[in-house]
Every structure is written in structure tokens, then in C-alpha cells.
Structure 1
Amino acid sequence: MDQNKAEIAKDFPPFFRVHKNGLIDRYIHTDFIPPSQHPQTLVQSKDVIISQQNKLSARIYLPKSAVSNNHTRKFPLLIYIHGGAFSVQSPFSSIYHTYLNNLVSESEVIAVSVDYRLAPENPLPACYDDAWSVFNWVFSHSGKKIQDFPGPGKPEKPEPWMSDHVDYTRVFLAGDSAGANIAHDLLVRASSKNLKLEGMILIHPFFGNGKKADKLWEYIYPGTSGVHDPRLNPAAHVNLLKKLSCKRIMICVAEEDELRKRGWYYYESVKRSGWNGEVEIVETKGESHVFHLLDPCCENAGIFMKQVASFINKIGFSAL
């Protein structure tokens, strides 16, 4: 027997494996791109510390027009949660930094890209709590009292990009894969505080299908309630869905993605729930999971970018 294999306690390719001595190896190594002014889009970015305690941070993106409008115009806000099976990737990687620069430019939004603690070193619900802390930090700049949104997100100093440029009546949540799962949890929490958002964009969401538990999910979330955990399988909770406090939801699936059926199941459940809002689903033909991140220059990625931007700006969109 291979000695290396004998020493492995858990293996979840292509994400990570855990050795019997507790050592964690990741199959995917994430690079780091510093904030900057993007040379093609002229989008500016900066990193902010949200909580020293958890080393929680985020990257903020400012569109070109926000830099030159002398603070007279307010922009929609997009809170974005990166994917990666709760265990890999970062908002500071080249994949997500490139995507957010392009999305901010195309949509003309302010974006906050959340850096949450990764599993398995930080078991779930750490990622959910980190995202909620950033959410609180964001809304602490809105003029609302922070006690209305309990959590550790109150800033020591206000961030001018948030105070000067954001229209807090037009806030969107978005994420891909596991990030879409986390974004949905944020909306559930915000709904419990009677805070109404403009919309939510779920890109190739990682949800359960109610048939069997996901082994990775079980390992990184030891406190899960199982196959129908509302965080894993919100489609099974009609009362939760009908209370979602946003105006519009966009669900994005890809024809060749193994998670495609989960996105459709969620869409159909929202439709059946009696939720009082607009829900749409967009399916990209001939593409697989997060194709737009892996091949951002392909034709379908460009079309998909415009569909997301159109949803944010309420221009309207159509499926491929």
C-alpha cells in the first residue's frame, strides 16, 4: 500500500485532503492579486479590514464613473461571495479579481467581495458568520443604527467609498457555487431583520437535492441537521422561501453542470412557495460549472456577463 495514501484520513478531490496527523493539503493553490486600478476597465479596488479578531477582510470595487462624478451620483451595491466548495479560492485571486473588475465595469455597481474563513480549518458555519459580519459592516454605512443589524461588523472608521457612493435602496447579493449558497443564507438572515434588498443572483448554486447528503458538506459542517438542512437544501423549506425579502431573484445554471438540477429545483420551489417577487432562471447551453470564471474570454461568458448586468440594471435578459 502507498504510504502516502495510508496516511490520508479524508480525501475530497479536487479540493483538499486531510492526513491522519491533521495536515491539510489543498489540490488547488490560490494566487494573490493586489488591489489596483484595472488598466482595461479603469475600475479601482482596495482592501479593507472588517474584523481584526477573525482576520476578516473584503475587497471593494469602484467603477470608473464613480471616480469622476465628484460624489454626486449613487450606485447600486453588489455584495459578492466567491465559490470553491467552502474550502478553496479567495476574492483576491486572479480568477475573482478579474471577474469582479469586469462585472463592476459592465454593471456600474460598487462591489464588496467577501473574504471568509475556509473549511476544513474553520468548520461551517464560520463562512456564514463571516459573510454576515461583512453584511453588517456594509449596512453600518447606510445611516441605519447598527443595533438593527446585530453582529460584529461596525467599523472603527467609516469607509468613504461606502459612505459616498452607495445607494442603499439598491443592494444585491450574489455568489457562485458555494458562494451562492452563502449569499442565500445572507438573504435569509436579512429577511429575519425585515430588511428588504433589491435582488439576489445565484450562479450555479451549490444546494442539496433532498436525496442524499453530500459527504463534503457533512465533513465540513459537523453541526448540520442533515439532508434537509435549510442551508444545504433551502428548496425543501417553503416557509423560508416565501419570506425572502427581496424584489427579484435570478438563478443561473449551465447545461453540462452536475449542479444544474439543483438550481432548477430551487427555482421551481420558489415559484411554488407563493413568494411575492420576480424570479427568473437563465440556462447557458453547452457549458459546465462556473465556465465564465474558467474561460472568461469565451463567447458565452461575454453573453452571460451582459445577462447579469442587465438583471442588476433591470434592462431585461433572455436565456441563451
Structure 2
Amino acid sequence: MASTDSEIVKEFRFFRVYKDGRIESFFPPCPKVPPSDDPVTGVRSKDVTISSEPSVSARIFIPKVSDPNQKFPLLFLVHGGGFCGMSAFAPRYHLFCNTVSAQAGAIIVSVEYGLFPDRPIPACYEDSWAALQWVASHVSGNGPEPWLNDHADFNKVFISGVSAGGNISHTLAFRVGSIGLPGVKVVGMILVHPYFGGTEDDEMWLLMCPNNGGLQDPRLKPPAEDLAKLGCERVLIFVAEKDHLNVVGKNYHEDLKKSGWGGRVELFESHGEEHVFHMNNPKSEKAVEVINKFVSFLKQD
């Protein structure tokens, strides 16, 4: 009899599943760059361990400090990668964070969370929430990280995520609004080409999340009552015209407006562009527009 080892039972955008349970990822190994001090912008970065079991870490960026008492807004960033790839330490995310930190004058905490298949969903949600709570542990100035103790303004905290990270960011803002994050004021949330339910990727998400609530799972399709509880005042949603997730971002925008949530929401569309194009070609005119809009949202009073 022929071996079943090579029989494919499911094939998705990011991986295929064999009959024997093996997962073959379509992602090449993710290159990673070390933290650094940027001599041009003055932005410094370092890596921190948030938890060893499970393994959760983050890269922190801080702009040039001109005054020992200087305070900066804080951006908590969740990378994309379909819940199963990419890294906070990837060159594209390091460059993005370095650029935003310099231009916005903001501290950035870019979280490295557990990925499928090694750690199925909900690890991504739980790891990101643990990292956000770790950030909040510095509110009184006696947390484990001096940069946050000395220079983070916890009255100006933002949550942002790209693609799958946008989905995770929503769950974080919902938790902040539902159960709170003592001492922290989350001013805004920025979703960049976010993923939510309603696409061909939904079956893939359900497989990555063994304990799921089906297509109506609130993490996949946030209901109005969850949207109404978002724990922030402002939301900015980026979509790209040629992105298969374009309609998903627009639906979230409309659903949020109708939910009874009391904040302000804005939609920014990049015409003629694909998914996460600003990461692939960060110096293009449209990518610069995205970065400028992102930075201006952080700098608004």
C-alpha cells in the first residue's frame, strides 16, 4: 500500500496539511536583525524577555532622549504574518518601528508572540495580552525595563497591528475596554490592512484555532457589543484597494460606527496598492503617505 505521508488533506494560503498531521509552511525562514543604535535618527532598540514559559519577548525602540525627565507616547505593535509567520525582529518591522519612533517621537514595544503550528491560536492573543500587561507593570516607575520606567507616558498609549496583528490588536483593545488596564490610558488603535472573518482565509484560521466558535467566533467576527467596548477614543484603519482584505477593513469600519462605540474612527485607503505594500516598498510615494498618516495619528492631541 502507498504511504499516506504525502497525502495532502488541506491546502491554505500559508501552509498545507498532510494526512499524518504534518504541517508544511509556505513561509521561508524569517530573517531577523539584531537591535541597534541608529546613528542617523538617534533611535535605540533592545530586546527584552517578557516570559520564558511560554516564550514571549519584545523589541523596544526609544527615540533620542534630550532630557532625563522626557516622556514619550508609547505604541504597542503587533506584527502580521497570518498567525503562523513573520517576526517582530524581521528587517521590515525593525525598519518600520525605527522610522515611526523617530518621526513620531514615540517609544515602541513590538511584541514577539507564539505562532502556529508550534503554538496554535489562542497563543497569539494570550501572549500579546501578557506583553501589554507587562508594559502596564511599569506605570509606577518600578517595572523591569528602565526605558519604560523613565520615559513612557502611560496617558498616551496606542495599540497597533498589521494584518493578523490588526486582528490581535482588536482583541487587546476589547480587553482593555472590558476588564481595564490599570494606570494606562489607551488613546487610540491603528489597524493596518487587518484580517477579520469573511474571506477564504477563515477556514485556515479555524484550523489554527482548535477550540473555536465557528465562523461567528468573536475574535473572527467581532459582534457589535464587543466593538462598543473598545477601550480607546480614536481608531484609524488602513486598507489597500487591491488587497483581498480590503472589504474586511471597510466592514470593520462600518460595523464600528454602528456599534454604539463613542469614539472617532477614520478610514484611509491606498489606491492601486496590495496587501502590506508599505512594508515591501517603504520608500514608495504611497508607502510614505501611510507612514505620514500613521505618525500624524500618534502626534494628534
Q: TM-score range by the shorter chain?
A: over 0.9
Indicate the residue corresponding to 2:209 in structure 1. Answer: 221
Indicate the residue corresponding to 1:276 in structure 2. Answer: 262
Indicate the residue corresponding to 1:16 in structure 2. Answer: 15
Return 5+ residue gaps in structure 2 as ranges. none
Q: What residue identity is the alignment partner of 2:67?
A: N
Distance 2:229 2:76 in 1: 20
Greater CA drift, 212-221 or 250-259: 212-221
Indicate the residue corresponding to 1:26 in structure 2. Answer: 25
SS at match of 1:113: strand
User: Is 2:112 aligned against 1:115?
Assistant: yes
Alignment partner of 1:305 out of 275, 288, 291: 291
**Between Structure 1 and Structure 2, how many residues are aligned?**
296
Alignment partner of 2:221 out of 233, 236, 243: 233
Query: Normalising by structure 1, what TM-score?
Result: 0.87
Aligned residue runs from structure 1 range 151-162, under 5 A: 158-162=144-148
Aligned residue runs from structure 1 range 1-320, under 5 A: 6-13=6-13, 15-28=14-27, 29-64=29-64, 66=65, 68-70=66-68, 72-143=69-140, 158-195=144-181, 196-209=185-198, 214-234=202-222, 237-314=223-300
Q: 1:214 to 1:69 in 2, by over 3 A?
A: same
Distance 2:259 2:55 in 1: 39
Q: What residue identity is the alignment partner of 1:75?
A: F
Q: What residue identity is the alignment partner of 1:222?
A: P
Q: 1:36 to 1:6 in 2, by over 3 A?
A: same
Query: Normalising by structure 2, what TM-score?
Result: 0.92
Distance 1:286 1:104 in 2: 27
The answer on whether the counterparts of 2:92 and 2:279 sit within 8 Å (CA) in structure 1 is: yes
Root-mean-square deviation (CA, aligned residues, Å) is: 2.1
- Per-residue CA deviations over 1:73-111 (Å, capped at 9, x if unaligned) read 111000000000000000001111111111111111000
SS at match of 1:251: strand
SS at match of 2:24: strand
SS at match of 1:175: strand
- Per-residue CA deviations over 1:10-63 (Å, capped at 9, x if unaligned) read 3323x2234444444322220010001124322110000001111210000011
SS at match of 2:32: coil
Post-superposition offset of 1:182 = 0.4
